[in-house]
């Protein structure tokens, strides 16, 4: 991670250490965006506020990784991951709790940090369909 990225991600990382998922909200147009940017993707405004979100969303697609490019991850294979579209419109790559979650499933995404203090998101199937 570059120095610029580290600064950009710091508020999200600080919240993730406490298990809180925060995303950037544009103060001008209301867009919620991810990955974090220095300006709003839509209106290019620089006033972006980090606010907690409930993490509820829908699985777009899933994959079970059987191969990794990084030795650090090898012992965790096979590794289910997914893309999730949160109800607030942001699309996230996440680790998936469980191998039987399919596209279309309702999930809740939680934030934490990994051994290197990087943000890690995990989706768990939400109880009771909305």
Tell me the C-alpha to C-alpha distance, in Å, between residue 50 and each of 40, 65, 67, 70: 12, 31, 35, 31
Q: Which residues bind another protein (CB under 8 A)?
A: 1-2, 5, 9, 34-35, 60-70, 72-73, 76, 79, 81-83, 85, 91-95, 102-104, 114, 118-121
- Nearer to another protein (CB atom), residue 16 or residue 128: 16
- By C-beta, is 47 or 78 nearer to another protein? 78
* Beta sheet of 48-52, edge-to-edge order: 32-33, 22-26, 48-52
- Provide the 8-state DSSP code for 71: G
CB of 9 to another protein, least distance (A): 6
- Least distance CB 64 / another protein (angstroms): 4
**Nearest alpha carbon to residue 108 among 3, 78, 129, 42:** 129
CB of 68 to another protein, least distance (A): 5
Q: Which of 81, 7, 89, 31 is nearest to 56 (CA)?
A: 89
In terms of CB distance, is 49 or 63 closer to another protein?
Answer: 63
């Amino acid at each position: 991670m570059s120095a610029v990225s580290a600064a950009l991600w710091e508020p999200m990382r600080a919240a993730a250490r406490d298990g809180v998922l925060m995303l950037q909200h544009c103060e001008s147009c209301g867009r919620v965006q991810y990955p974090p940017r220095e300006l709003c993707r839509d209106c290019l405004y620089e006033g972006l506020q980090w606010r907690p979100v409930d993490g509820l969303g829908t699985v777009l697609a899933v994959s079970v990784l059987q191969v990794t490019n990084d030795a650090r991850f090898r012992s965790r294979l096979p590794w289910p991951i997914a893309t999730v579209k949160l109800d607030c419109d942001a699309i996230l790559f996440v680790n998936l709790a469980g191998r039987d979650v399919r596209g279309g499933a309702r999930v809740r995404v939680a934030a934490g940090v990994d051994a290197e203090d990087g943000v890690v998101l995990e989706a768990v199937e939400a109880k009771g369909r909305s």
